[in-house]
Structure 1
Amino acid sequence: MRATSTAGPAVLVLEDGRAFAGQSYGAVGTTVGEAVFSTGMTGYQETLTDPSYHRQVVVMTAPHIGNTGVNPHDMESSRIWVAGFVVRDPALRPSNWRSQGDLDEALRTSGVVGISGVDTRALTRHLRDRGAMRVGIFSGPDAGRPVEELLRTVTQAPRMAGSALAEEVSTPHPYVVSPPEGVAPRWTVAALDLGIKGTTPTLMAARGIRVHVLPATSTWEELLAVEPDGVFFSNGPGDPATAEHETALLRRVLDTGLPFFGICFGNQLLGRALGLPTYKLAFGHRGINQPVLDRATGKVEVTAHNHGFAVGWPEGTPTDEGADTPYGPVRCSHVALNDDVVEGLRCVDVPAFSVQYHPEAAAGPHDAEHLFDRFVTMMEEHRAQA
């Protein structure tokens, strides 16, 4: 990515050759990545700072973006991770009592190339019909080049399938998030950072968990060194089929019977550790309004999603019957109501479960936050049996 700070016209070019003209938004320059769309009406700052969006150009389906500005409290990591940002009508000025800055300025400061004035409805329908694909945003001098030349830049970009990205977004050094004042520490959890969001360890700490956030490259010995009561694998970017080290580490967790909880990328890695396949979705699930059925309770939860890959089920569409694995039966605990995608796994013989969505949604539904309590209950039961 190369960027400057001069505004002007911009053009978005998809790898199938379709182009959209607009105006520069954020930094000016050139960027490429995978084009995906997010259906959230709000929460754009959480999206921008979610490491799971690394190397993705995010199209916001809501027409008005930037209304509430930005503030340091809603950062889910230390930086903006998206490769590019596409909006229809950017706010002329932020209007919110919590705002401490302008979104356009924040994008420019972070060097994130964006485009506004795009018919995001048409773009979203195109991606929904054709599937997620590589895309480039070009502003400044590059915006005047022929589309055929810009298309060559797009098609030279790496595809998301086959990309190993967790190490690129993971913390380089371990750190600890302790329970807040007045909450007694009762549990220790080793959380493998595959692209973790800041709210996740905060919610665990509020439940009396001392969270040791570890780099994605951590060894089994380094994980055991924190003497965990449980292990957590976070969300993150990239193709789960490339995460061989992390999958092997998870198998060690299952072998020892330590309680395990995974979300998003962690759900996909649990599937692979159990011997289930993963595959790339046509256009993925992204946004804060995705309905998921909890098969154990029969309740429908409105959930926050950000994933382009999913766990495959042996029989195709998930059924109530469990699948056999080297670690005993595993059941599909949750299913997406829009397309029957596997949204959760529950092991029968070992203490392990996972969900494909984000129970820590900071901007959006809190329907699934109870899953952190379920993790605590699992650790309690494991300690009682020890």
Structure 2
Amino acid sequence: MQARLLLEDGTLFKGLGFGAEGQSAGEVVFNTGITGYQEVLSDPSYCGQIVTMTYPLIGNYGITRDDFESISPSIQGFVVRRHEPVPSNWRAEYTLDRLLKEYGIIGISEIDTRMLTRILRHHGTMKGILTTGSERIEELQERLGATPLMRDQVARTSTKSIFSSPGEKERIVLVDFGAKSGILRELTKRGCDVVVVPQDTTAEEIRRLKPDGIQLSNGPGDPKDVPHAVTMIKELLGEYPIFGICLGHQLFALACGADTSKLKFGHRGGNHPVKELETNRCYITSQNHGYTVLEESVKGTKLAVTHINNNDRTIEGLKHTEYPAFSVQYHPEAAPGPYDSSYLFDQFLEMIRQHKRNHPQKPRQAQLAESLRGELQYAQK
């Protein structure tokens, strides 16, 4: 099956198609990970994007149920140098080709992904259209020009209803802006009582759940497209300990008066070096984002920079100077990538315990009874 990828600057790539047939448009980005293509495919933060893998061999270890980071992939297309149709791995349950067919995702292989990556690095990310059909170039260009980039990715990927993962320790409200399963795994394996809520949950609805802390998840798109989340964070700041990841980090920054802007080609991969300023230690991190917090905008706020990117010096971590709240731009839950930064979840839980020591609350049994009433009211709504 023949396939083509046309960029908005007119560059055309011809290759072999795999996965679904049809036509799909989106923002073309690249990921530098060597492994983890299944986690990349199922990361909700890629919603609305055509993802290019820079590593040349993709599909060689197949697909397994345990490696999904969401119920279903949200990407618009998948671009690889070489697609391996016959995986060799004892964990493999089926092939990459079958996964893409199942979810209607077009794949293209046998193109020069190095050239494509160089174009995106030089000119920045841009719109593109994938097709397995025989349309004329003029038709594809017209369709691409008429297709705007998605602006509602968070609403598309967030859970539509509240659900919980019960635990015996701290109650964490995880606000799902397009959360990866890895965040929930890290919290539950520490014994947390996690309640996952939709992206448009209000501050008052969260209060009814009687949380010990609030986790702001990762997610796709521009943080300024979800102003209601910024309002919610502003209202809860100082009332509960808060930990933001990726999009959650950007929303936390906006809520504190800082600003964000789009990066030229973003940070996507599992090998990004991040320096922790307090310890002067460098961590290798997993990242997937196209926006950043502007350094100059932090001045005059009650935020302090805690981490920076060693490649381009962009902000990778913030903390509030008065309230128990902090955030990081990268993914401490990894999946895929190194687990060097998973200690941040322990740091969050210690922050919660310190906050509770400083602000004694009702006995846990009474809290749970109130929480149950709050959940029932919210569910009935």
Q: Pick from 282, 302, 326 the counterpart of residue 353 of structure 1.
A: 326
1:117 partner amino acid: E
1:96 partner amino acid: N
Tell me which residue corresponds to 2:257: 275
Tell me which residue corresponds to 1:245: 228
C-alpha separation in 2, matches of 1:208 and 1:286 = 30
C-alpha separation in 2, matches of 1:138 and 1:361 = 32
DSSP 3-state at the match of 2:295? coil
- Deviation track 1:6-45 (CA, whole Å, cap 9, x = no partner) reads xx11110001110100011210110000000000000000
Number of matched pairs = 359
Q: Pick from 122, 135, 149 the counterpart of residue 145 of structure 1.
A: 135
- The answer to whether structure 1 residue 213 and structure 2 residue 196 are counterparts is yes
- The answer to whether structure 1 residue 203 and structure 2 residue 176 are counterparts is no
The alignment's TM-score, normalised by the length of structure 1, stands at 0.91
Tell me which residue corresponds to 2:103: 110
- The answer to whether structure 1 residue 188 and structure 2 residue 171 are counterparts is yes
2:86 partner amino acid: R
DSSP 3-state at the match of 1:275? coil
Tell me which residue corresponds to 2:155: 167
The 5-angstrom pairing of residues 84-163 of structure 1 reads 84-139=77-132, 142=133, 144-159=134-149, 163=151
DSSP 3-state at the match of 1:37? strand
DSSP 3-state at the match of 1:123? helix
DSSP 3-state at the match of 2:356? helix
How far apart are 1:374 and its partner, in Å? 0.5
How far apart are 1:153 and its partner, in Å? 1.2
Kindly indicate whether the alpha-carbon contact (under 8 Å) linking 1:344 and 1:354 is maintained by their aligned counterparts in 2. yes
C-alpha separation in 1, matches of 2:6 and 2:255 = 38
Structure 1 stretches of 5 or more lacking a match? Answer: 1-7, 180-184, 316-321
Q: Pick from 268, 279, 298 the counterpart of residue 286 of structure 1.
A: 268
Q: Name whichever structure is richer in helix by fraction.
A: 2
The 5-angstrom pairing of residues 230-379 of structure 1 reads 230-254=213-237, 256-314=238-296, 323-325=299-301, 329-379=302-352
C-alpha separation in 2, matches of 1:92 and 1:270 = 43
Tell me which residue corresponds to 1:319: none
C-alpha separation in 1, matches of 2:166 and 2:12 = 49
Structure 1 residue ranges (4+ consecutive) displaced by more than 6 angstroms after TM superposition: none
C-alpha separation in 2, matches of 1:14 and 1:275 = 36
C-alpha separation in 2, matches of 1:208 and 1:28 = 44
Q: Pick from 190, 195, 211 the counterpart of residue 228 of structure 1.
A: 211
What is the RMSD of the two structures over their aligned residues, measured on CA atoms?
1.1
C-alpha separation in 1, matches of 2:26 and 2:349 = 38
C-alpha separation in 2, matches of 1:250 and 1:355 = 16
Kindly indicate whether the alpha-carbon contact (under 8 Å) linking 1:164 and 1:239 is maintained by their aligned counterparts in 2. no
Q: Pick from 52, 62, 65 the counterpart of residue 59 of structure 1.
A: 52
- Deviation track 1:205-263 (CA, whole Å, cap 9, x = no partner) reads 11121110000111222111110011111000111112110000000111x43100000
- Deviation track 1:159-218 (CA, whole Å, cap 9, x = no partner) reads 35xx23211110011111124xxxxx2200111000001121111111121110000111
Q: Pick from 19, 22, 25 the counterpart of residue 29 of structure 1.
A: 22
The alignment's TM-score, normalised by the length of structure 2, stands at 0.92
C-alpha separation in 1, matches of 2:85 and 2:192 = 43
- Deviation track 1:308-341 (CA, whole Å, cap 9, x = no partner) reads 01111227xxxxxx7332xxx3111111111111
How far apart are 1:348 and its partner, in Å? 1.1
- Percent identity, aligned pairs only, is 42
1:92 partner amino acid: P
C-alpha separation in 2, matches of 1:18 and 1:355 = 36
C-alpha separation in 1, matches of 2:90 and 2:244 = 35
C-alpha separation in 2, matches of 1:346 and 1:132 = 30
How far apart are 1:271 and its partner, in Å? 0.8
